Structure 1
């Protein structure tokens, strides 16, 4: 049996159906990807080929293409193995072809994985299938007497693990017959499908406290006594449960219903409740056992008869229960557990990617001289002044807080730096001593105002990942003469000026905008986050004459080696005069140039179009448009452009979508898609969780968005949570549709729990009860 003939068509059609796009679009995108084109390049400069697929659609297509191709490779390998071992039945083959996930494929293959000769195999070789038929026909006979007819006494000393041993004793023959039935139940594809469908629909995930872990696992107390239906449990809760189990706080069980507690030590209402649970559990389990019995040709009524194993009826009952409880239930539970984890992983990665995108595309403060403050108490506040391009002008450390309390000396030093370098922005890290340092900056602004210096603004900046950058190889290359402790202040200042340019230098998993990031596949998470960074960098564009190697490496078509070669060439030969000069860089060939050229910018070079997002391949058309508009790059009258018809400039290689993009670029060359810079103003006197009270209206910055809500930094060193139910008076299915990471919002304090360090917030500033729902 082979599947190769229709594999590619099936994959492409599957992707088209899943994404709701045309098959022709999928085929064009797959061809471009296979030929080495990047997603940003295809999305921006090959719209005609894909009929306008967006970068989001292309990323989803790329990920599904990878997964489905891996799935097909694994399917082919399994089919080949089963065929070689003569185990591939028509029913199993059809099920393998129909499998849509790797987990489903492996579940079908699992019963056939072993290469050793199983007891069922030996029993069939010994003719025990006839014994099975005999046992099924006479349920009230003696099982031992029936089996005795198959025994060969002369083989009583046969070696275990041989065909002869199966027929050496009646007990052995019965054991072999049972193995045949157990294997039949385990390999019945139709039975597995029926059981799985009901298990998904009615099964339950439970968690119970591991004795003695009450204190160590206190943060998981919500799951000490927990149960929820498989079909209803949300992804973030699955990952929380798995983490709680990994840390030894709880034991997870996936079963047909809530497993009842032992009743021996229970009395009164607790015992009655346990008995009810036991009845419900037995009722649900009996359905599965009846279904297993029927699949084996055993009358379901057999399970209701009380008998020991001496009679066939008792032997059959035990066989059915062994098949369900020891073979099928564990496999089903394992399959569901894997499915739940994979869905949880997918959702968690999606949330992380969305948050990272919002953070990277946050509004830049711009090219202003900036003072970076990395707060600290005993170790002091680290200070760095950078110019508008991020070059370090001066660094130092001040000690305004305990234990030194050199407040006035610190103010004098900062005032001197601001005046001397014309500082316009003060970036304050949000770590330890942030609010104390914010007060210091507030006093500094008062002193500056008194001295006639105005226009200086203080901003609290997330310092997540700054310490990782400080100790990195990249930081040691960029700032070789600075102490590690001072590099963090530089990073804080630069990330206020341009979050994207600075954050790309840091491992995205260190930025702190994901949840359960250590519980998911590092490879899958890395692919998703790398894709987000690449898309964000290319959406904004990169100034090739000033960009760091870390930023250049994220340009479509470039890699780390090319980025380093660009910087080395730039340092040796001076600024690039045109995009075309990039072809002189070692290892930067025509393909890399094609992919990258439209995303790099050169300001003030020999070719004015190099400052725009117009690709060099479209320069002749762009020049024709400018000529007809009577304009030049950067000095285009939009009214004149509006008089021109983009359709008149369509060529054999450049369609209307690309021409329309060229018109937009010429109107605003190199436009930045990021929003206007805005900061949150923290409330005076609200510096710790103990200062909060229900009803307070505060301003804060969204630090993280999860599937269940959003975390808000309100300046008290502990983010508050706006649960999804507190985001709107109407239903919210996805918090990302309401808020984004980095966004400034106003919130109402709902509840404060200092002991557990939990702050509940609401975006609904007026405390009005939700309207009562009508009963159905």
Structure 2
């Protein structure tokens, strides 16, 4: 016997996979095991990990979880086979060399405890020697040799041969090398084929969104994630019949024959029997397992891609430009139930709420405008945030008239912006919203959320479960645990990249800070409400249950404006304050003279202030932070202006150039809201004059863009757009399956827009509107 190889450590395997020195990996793993978060390690432990960034650390964290699960399963399999007394050095070496969970399961399959199979029953009847003799000498006539194995349990030669066949079929199906080779070939040469689930299903309205897949075939390796998930959704909804085709049966049967040692070309007495056995092994066992594995692999790859797309979109949305601390009026549009209105101050505190009814059936246009004018004047409103759901364009028209009237009255008018209301209804009905806004009706809470989203998208969106925000690609078709883990990481990274104001942050926002759990966030807010605003970061240590470890993790990401120590408003960690004091001592200037003094800070050399604990990377970060303390990494605030008179898909004309907002970025392109209650698609091929492999290279969620209309399908509510404004204005884009299964837009977006908002019953004159503005406080 040869000695079995030893298994490389998890750290060694991670180092190889990530192409990172093992010492750096070991340091990162140790910190993670000690409870450190990825944002903390990436920001404040650069010397320890060799400056691994948050992306590398997230990959390391994910692979660490997988490899540990892999090793745990490997140990269990080794123990199981050893208990059976069947563990050989060769088998152990194969298991130690397995680098995936599926490979371990392939090797374990013959030894895995299972219910009695027909092959097992045949072995118990003594028929395995018959199978071996037919394999070894195909010149033997099967019926003749089978007669030698008749017993009380084996009635005749046919029963004996049937049992021998079951043994060989199972032997082939449990051959780890054969199973692996078939899996590889099936994936490389296989295809997905789809058709209507039935003739009746093909005629149903629900199945029409999948009609692009009624006659569809695509290679497994080539099929992008969005089409995979669309096809699988069609199968789940019984609109499509899906088949996984591995290619030529003959080629697979040759593989099975070779594994069993059968010569299919031999002209021997047992060759027909052996050929039938090979065919049955392929068609009844291995073809099915190959198709199942291909389906699992295809879904897994599609899910990984979909989660990655969702994560990128979510990050872009969370890090969208904040409008800032300005008094904001939020409008949650609606027709029959009216437009819900909420005014919040510069800190997000609710000042006043109401409902107006400018649209049909009430059509109280001018009285609604007068109500809004009074609110704007009374509270000094600087921004108007309009939710982008039903009646959004009509409500936008109302705000446009209001702003024009205020300007005509000689007063400063607020700016307006359309805000995504995806997930607003989820927040409004949540337990947290009930605690935060107990005096407000559920319907009005949505208007508050819309106003706050404009002020600070990050602070408001963290109150909503990430998957409900509505920027995913088929997120409802993805395994919930995989999606949640990825999105939680995105939210954590975004929150800690921006930093959190300790004295204004909500519980949901604080709970996303490194090292702060939800219960600890509640304790911080309770302490703040009891004792007043925090004056220093060190005061956090007085919060019940917040110990040194939690303080170490969270302190650098929390900001205190106007506190006792100017450094508490920066991203400098309290543990590094001595470095700043050392810089002050050697520079001979005060803290006030140093902070924000770009000229003085640029003359300092990080190496001059580094020591054994804080190396050059950390000191470099400290100097950058002192230059612009508490800097916000998010872009400057800007809004899109929708074209007047373009309010529904039927209003669009090929060749129009419009301004819009990117609402979602998928693998095949980007969806853009141009203000017609239905997002248009900019296909990846229409994004640039150069080749674009990833739409995120060109656009991001929330970005304001100019697009040209190239195709309009009013019946199917599809809009084709291009970012190349010089493109020929005609619908040249090919029809693509991905356009047929667009995820359902956010709340109520699919309803057609109305344009009858000017047909109002209260018929106020221009003079009476001017009087209403004067009554509201404008033009005095």
Greater displacement, 284-293 / 572-581 = 284-293
- 1:205 alignment partner, one of 192, 202, 205: 192
- Give the counterpart of 1:482 among 440, 443, 452: 440
- The farther-off stretch of 396-405 and 93-102 is 93-102
Gaps of 5+ in 2: 731-780
Residues 1:75 and 2:74 are matched in the alignment? yes
Equivalence map 1:600-619=2 (5 Å): 600-619=558-577
Is the 2:172–2:260 Cα contact (8 Å) retained in structure 1? yes
Question: Aligned in 2, Cα 1:4/1:695: closer, same or farther, shift over 3 Å?
Answer: farther
Pick from 342, 347, 371: which aligns with 1:389? 347
Change (3 A) 1:515 1:115: same
Whether the aligned pair in 2 keeps the contact of 1:373 and 1:428 (CA below 8 Å) is yes
Question: Residue 227 of structure 1 aligns with which residue?
Answer: 217
What whole-Å deviation, never above 9, does each CA across 1:323-349 have from its counterpart, x for those lacking one?
Answer: 000011101111111111111111111
**Structure-2 change in CA distance of 1:769 and 1:742 (3 Å):** closer
1:127 offset after TM fit, Å?
A: 3.8
Matches of 2:86 and 2:413, distance apart in 1: 79
Give matches, 1:45-84, under 5 Å.
Answer: 45-84=44-83
Distance 1:769 1:2, change over 3 A: farther
When residues 465 and 5 of structure 1 are mapped into structure 2, their CA distance, relative to the original with a 3 A threshold, is farther
SS at match of 1:228: strand
- Structure 2 equivalent of residue 113 of structure 1: 112
Offset, 1:35:
0.9
Deviation, 1:87, is 4.8
CA distance in 2, matches of 1:335, 1:105: 14
What is the CA–CA distance in structure 1 between the aligned matches of 2:3 and 2:373, rounded to whole Å?
74
User: 2: CA distance between counterparts of 1:523 and 1:547?
Assistant: 28
Which of residues 445, 466, 477 is equivalent to 2:424?
466
CA distance in 2, matches of 1:234, 1:769: 28
SS state of the match for residue 439, structure 2? coil
* Structure 2 SS opposite 1:467: helix
In 2 relative to 1, CA 336–86 (structure 1 residues): closer, same or farther, beyond 3 Å?
Answer: farther
Structure 1: distance between partners of 2:137 and 2:610: 83
Shift of 1:138: 5.6
Unaligned runs of 5+ in 1: 156-164, 258-283, 771-776
- Between 602-611 and 624-633, the greater mean CA deviation after superposition: 624-633
- 2:254 is matched with which residue: 290, 297, 316? 290
TM-score by length of 2: 0.90
Partner of 2:620: 660
Task: Return the match for 1:399 from 354, 357, 368.
Answer: 357
Asked if structure 2 preserves the Cα contact closer than 8 Å seen for 1:631 and 1:637, the reply is no
CA contact (8 A) 1:103 1:335 kept: no
Distance 1:133 1:624, change over 3 A: closer
Query: What is aligned with 1:12?
Result: 11
Corresponding residue to 2:273 among 315, 320, 324: 315
Output aligned runs, 1:68-147, within 5 Å: 68-88=67-87, 92-136=91-135, 139=138, 142-147=141-146
Higher relative contact order (Cα pairs below 8 Å, separated by 6+ residues) = 2
Kindly state the Cα deviation for residue 94 of structure 1 after the two structures are TM-superposed: 4.1
Spell out the pairing of 1:131-170 with structure 2 (5 A cutoff): 131-136=130-135, 139=138, 142-152=141-151, 155=152, 165=153, 167-170=154-157
- Shift of residue 141, structure 1, vs aligned partner: 5.5
Instruction: Tell me which residue corresponds to 1:188.
Output: 175
Contact 2:428 2:443 in 1 (8 A): yes
Using the TM superposition, name which of 293-302 and 234-243 deviates more. Answer: 293-302
Task: Give the direction of change, closer, same or farther, for the CA distance of 1:147–1:603 in structure 2 (3 Å limit).
Answer: same
Q: Tell me the number of residue pairs that the alignment of Structure 1 and Structure 2 aligns.
A: 725
CA apart distance, 1:129: 3.2
Between the aligned partners of 1:2 and 1:768, the Cα distance in structure 2 is: 71
User: 1:71 offset after TM fit, Å?
Assistant: 1.4
Moved more, 107-116 or 511-520: 107-116
Cα distance in 2 between the residues matched to 1:325 and 1:111: 19
2:367 to 409, 419, 424: 409
Name the structure 2 match of 1:512.
470
- Cα 1:681–1:558, aligned 2, differ >3 Å: closer, same or farther? same
Task: Tell me: CA distance 1:172–1:759, structure 2 relative to 1, closer, same or farther (3 Å).
Answer: same
Q: In the aligned structure 1, how far is the partner of 2:729 from the partner of 2:94?
A: 52
Residue 700 of structure 1 is aligned with which of 660, 681, 690? Answer: 660
Q: Deviations over 1:668-723 (max 9, x none)?
A: 11111100001111111111100112111111111111111111111111011111
